[in-house]
Amino acid sequence: MEPIRYVERLNAHYARQGFPPYRWTVNEAAPLTPLEKPLAACRVSMLTSGGVSRCASLAWNPDARDDLRLDAIARDAPSDDFQIHDSYYDHRDADGDLNCVFAIDRLRELVREGVIADVAPRLWSGFMGRIYTRRAVVNEAAPALARELEKDRVDLFVLVPA
C-alpha cells in the first residue's frame, strides 16, 4: 500500500474536531553529525514519544497537549513493566510487546551480540501527544535532553515517534 498521507488526513480530522490548526514543522535542511566510531564501539540510547511509562511511574495523559515531561528509563528496565497511555495511536500491539514501539529488548540483544558496545544508562520517554509550544522544545526541552545524553556519553541516539 501507499504510505498514508498523515498531514492531509490529520488536518482534515483536526479541523472537524475543532482543534486549533496544527503548525506542522517543515525544515529545508538537516544537520548531520557523522558517527565517529564503528557501531560496535557505540553506546546507544533511545527515545519513545509513545506515552510509555514504567508501571510504578505516573501514567501519561493520553490526550496530552504541550506536555514536556521526560522520563528517564533505566537501561535494565524489564519490557513487561511498562504502561502505555496515548490516545493518538493504536497501541494494543505494544501493550502486549513493548518492543513494537520501544525495542529495548532488541537493543540489549545487540549488545550481547557485539553489534553495539552498550546501552546508555538511561533511555527516554517523552514529547508525547500534541505539542504546540515548539519554542519551548527547541529552546529548552531538547537542549536539556541533549545535555543529559552528553552526561551519559551517548554516541548514537535512536528516536522513535509512535
Partner 1 sequence: MVEEVGIPTVLVSTGRDLTAQVLPPRSVFVNFPMGNPFGPPGDVALQRAILLDALRLAETATEGGALVDLPYAWGSDFAPGFERMAEAMAR
Residues linked to residue 44 through DSSP beta bridges, in sequence order = 119, 156
Contact between 34 and partner 1 by CB under 8 A: the answer reads yes
68, 71, 72, 89: which one binds partner 1 (CB under 8 A): 89
Residues 55-74 that bind partner 1 (CB under 8 A): 63
**Residue choice 94, 119, 128, 131 for contact with partner 1 (CB under 8 A):** 94
d(CA 94, CA 132): 26
Strands 118-119 and 122-126 turn out to be unpaired
CB of residue 75 to partner 1, shortest distance in Å: 15
Residue nearer to partner 1 on the CB measure, 73 or 94:
94
Burial class (CB in 10 A: 0-12, 13-18, 19+), 49: buried
- CA dist 49 and 86 (Å) reads 9
Alpha carbon distance 46, 110 (integer Å): 13
Residue 81 contacts partner 1 per CB under 8 A: no
Q: Are 38 and 115 in contact (CB under 8 A)?
A: no
Interaction between residue 157 and partner 1 (CB under 8 A): yes
Give the whole-angstrom CA distance, residue 146 versus residue 140: 10
91 binds partner 1 (CB under 8 A): yes
Report the residue from 68, 70, 77, 158 that binds partner 1 according to the rule CB under 8 A.
158
Q: Which residues bind partner 1 (CB under 8 A)?
A: 1, 3-10, 13, 17, 19, 24-35, 38-39, 44, 50, 63, 87-94, 96-97, 99-101, 103, 106-107, 109-110, 115-116, 138, 142-143, 145-147, 149-150, 154-162
